[in-house]
Amino acid sequence: MKSILVLVLVFAFNLFSKADQLAYITKEQADKAVKFLQDQDELILWCACCDNDKKQKITVNQVYSEFVNYQHYFQVILEGKDENGKKVRIELDLAYVHFKKGKKAQCVGKVLKFDCDPCTKAFKW
């Protein structure tokens, strides 16, 4: 019985740890990401390993970082408009943020050389 409980807990930890890989990051990582993202016109937000998560294309208006009031972590904030023109403010997980490079969407976290698994290879923009 104990071994089954341990197995379930390990599985649950792995599942949830994929969900927030690069949401809380260092100040240096946040600064690097903000600088990179400010040059983008549009981004696709998509967690390929999350159940029922749909790709969201967001037009970039502003990108900045904020201290999260937990240890020394920061998060990157995106303000822009969704495909319906609705204004959005989104706290990003850089493992699931994709930018256009040629005709493909690339993971921001991977391109910035942050340790993450976007759960997908580059895909058609």
Cα torsion angle, 61, 86, 121, 19, sign: positive
N-term to C-term CA, the chain: 47
Query: What is the rounded CA–CA span in Å between residue 119 and residue 51?
Result: 12
Q: For the segment 2-23, what is each residue's pLDDT rounded down to a tens digit?
A: 555 433 334 444 444 445 799 9
Q: For the segment 50-102, what is each residue's pLDDT rounded down to a tens digit?
A: 999 999 999 999 999 999 999 999 999 999 999 999 999 999 999 999 999 99
Query: What is the rounded CA–CA span in Å between residue 81 and residue 84?
Result: 8
pLDDT of residue 20: 78
pLDDT of residue 19: 58
What's the structural domain count of the chain?
1
pLDDT of residue 64: 98
48 DSSP assignment = T
Instruction: For residue 92, give its domain range.
Output: 2-124
Q: For the segment 108-117, what is each residue's pLDDT rounded down to a tens digit?
A: 999 999 999 9
